[in-house]
Copies of this chain bind each other. A is one copy, B any other.
């Protein structure tokens, strides 16, 4: 489990760091030229920034809580093909805010939530299984995954991608859920070695699906390496 040591640097733009080489930053007044090339909406003079080498799901789910808790908007979510040699993504998430204190608060909430949202990431040297769940999806989940806002939402990731196909099938068969989307190396990912399934529906059903997927996924990933262990503490 990659865990960042807290460090400080005395810059007003710096908010903090988190698991997965995650860094949280703010800009109080974005320069107009940068505003333009980043294609930001004029009304947001302040932005909050979350970036990470490892993980996209955990950061997006954490940002989803931040959007609920603050007066900010998710402007963009970009997925790098990264994970420091692993099979998955890294990410760049931008929050827009009219006031820098809102942007900063959104970044703080995201960094704090990260400890939880890394809880159902199970990894070994061969790959990873990731489960994410929310009882009520907000705008980060909508932007990044097409989740219906206000409804229970879940996602499951299997890497290498082959395992993702099996856990997707397992999840759909385990409970009555709506399949919202499917992503694979050549479609919907940034060429990561993952298959990802996005589901919605009744909260109990979504959770039941995810738990079934996890059990199968962790077992299959274990055939390629050591026992996959959660990065922090499972929350689903």
Contacts and interface: CB of A to CB of B under 8 A. Distances in A.
Interface stretch (A28-36, A112-120, A129-137): A28-36
Copies of this protein, total? 3
Contacts of A34: 165, 168-169, 172, 179, 182, 197
Interface string A66-95: 000000000010111110111100111010
A59 B121 CA distance: 27
A193 B224 contact: no
A218 to B, nearest CB: 10
Contacts of A80: 87, 160-161, 185, 189, 191-194
A76 to B, nearest CB: 8
A181 to B, nearest CB: 7
Nearest to A16: B223
A25 B162 contact: yes
Q: How large is the interface on A (under 10, 10 to 19, 20 to 34, 35 or more residues)?
A: 35 or more
B9 A169 contact: no
Contact of A21 (B50, B53, B126, B190): B126
Contacts of A173: 31
Given A23-B163, A92-B162, A92-B185, 4 more contacts: A80-B189, A81-B81, A84-B87, A90-B161
Interface of A: 4, 7-11, 13-14, 17, 21, 23-25, 27, 30-31, 33-34, 36-38, 47, 49-53, 76, 78-82, 84-87, 90-92, 94, 126-127, 160-163, 165-166, 168-169, 172-173, 179, 181-182, 184-187, 189-195, 197, 216, 219-220, 222-225
